């Protein structure tokens, strides 16, 4: 019995923050953060999502959970998940997030990125900015999202998607009718899911009727592929029910 795990070089020790790269750099920051929030909130409460557009940090993001288990699950289930046509690469973040450190009481302002190496003297002269509390959670602030689904190819995801095959009374149509969506679901979220399939054209939602959407493809072969792939996909607690739209 070897207790030696194959801890290869690039591993980082568990952290409640995950570091994501290989993100699609064309996506606007605000949308990116919202979508990440949407996708990852299924694994636990999210304290913060950070992303930057500087050269050095493009295509990367940090998602801060309120505990490390959520982060672990998120990595296990979402690493390599296709997201805006690219596969997310996810690891634990290398260091503790500020929002966590502030809650900890271990926060050190980053102007002076000094290590704490005082051996006998404490300096308390600096302003303790304790007034920050964790009330900044954006968990309920963001609209609907995903379970985990098998979009592009082999998504490393065991259980979860239970394709319900509804009797489709409507004949094939290049437009799909999606039902049972959480009311907060945004077109953007649906677009992210459906745009992975060939022939995707657009998502339309009806403000007056929350919970449903129309998704248009170039032809009905393509809409059929998307329908079968995403049938029963979970957005928050809800399984999408997809049928052909009535003509």
Partner DNA sequence: AGCACA
Give the binding site for DNA (CB under 7 A): 12, 17, 19, 21-23, 25, 29, 50-60, 62, 64, 91-99, 110
Output 75 or 230, the one with its CB closest to DNA.
75
Q: How far is the CB of 146 from DNA (least distance, A)?
A: 22
Q: How far is CA 47 from CA 17, 18, 67, 71, 133, in A?
A: 9, 12, 10, 12, 11
Output 64 or 203, the one with its CB closest to DNA.
64
Q: How far is the CB of 78 from DNA (least distance, A)?
A: 15
Q: How far is the CB of 183 from DNA (least distance, A)?
A: 29
C-alpha–C-alpha distance, residues 176 and 197, integer Å: 13
Output 25 or 69, the one with its CB closest to DNA.
25
Q: How far is the CB of 9 from DNA (least distance, A)?
A: 11
Tokens representing 206 are 């009806």
Q: Measure CA of the first residue to CA of the last residue in the chain; give whole Å.
A: 63
Neighbours of 37 (CB within 10 A): 19
Output 89 or 234, the one with its CB closest to DNA.
89
**Which SS3 state, helix, strand or coil, does residue 83 take?**
strand
Asked if residues 59 and 24 have their Cβ atoms less than 8 Å apart, the reply is yes
């Amino acid at each position: 019995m070897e207790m030696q795990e194959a801890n290869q070089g690039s591993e980082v020790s568990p952290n409640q923050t995950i570091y994501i790269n290989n993100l699609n750099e064309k996506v606007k920051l605000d949308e990116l953060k919202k979508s990440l929030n949407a996708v990852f909130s299924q694994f636990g409460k999210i304290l913060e999502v950070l992303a930057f557009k500087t050269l050095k940090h493009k295509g990367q993001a940090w998602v801060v959970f309120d505990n490390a288990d959520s982060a672990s699950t998120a990595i296990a289930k979402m690493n390599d998940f296709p997201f805006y046509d690219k596969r997310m690469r996810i690891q634990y973040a290398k260091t503790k997030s500020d929002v966590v450190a502030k809650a900890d009481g271990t926060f050190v302002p980053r102007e002076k990125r000094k290590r704490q190496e005082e051996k006998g003297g404490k300096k308390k002269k600096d302003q303790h900015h304790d007034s920050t509390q964790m009330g900044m959670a954006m968990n309920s602030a963001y609209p609907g999202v995903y379970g985990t689904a098998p979009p592009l190819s082999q998504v490393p995801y065991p259980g979860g998607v239970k394709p319900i095959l509804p009797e489709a009374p409507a004949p094939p149509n290049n437009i799909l009718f999606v039902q049972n969506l959480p009311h907060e679901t945004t077109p953007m979220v649906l677009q992210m899911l459906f745009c992975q399939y060939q022939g995707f054209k657009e998502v339309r939602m009806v403000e007056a009727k929350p919970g449903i959407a129309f998704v248009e493809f170039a032809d009905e072969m393509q809409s059929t592929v998307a329908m079968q792939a995403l049938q029963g996909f979970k957005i928050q607690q809800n399984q999408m029910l997809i049928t052909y739209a009535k003509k």
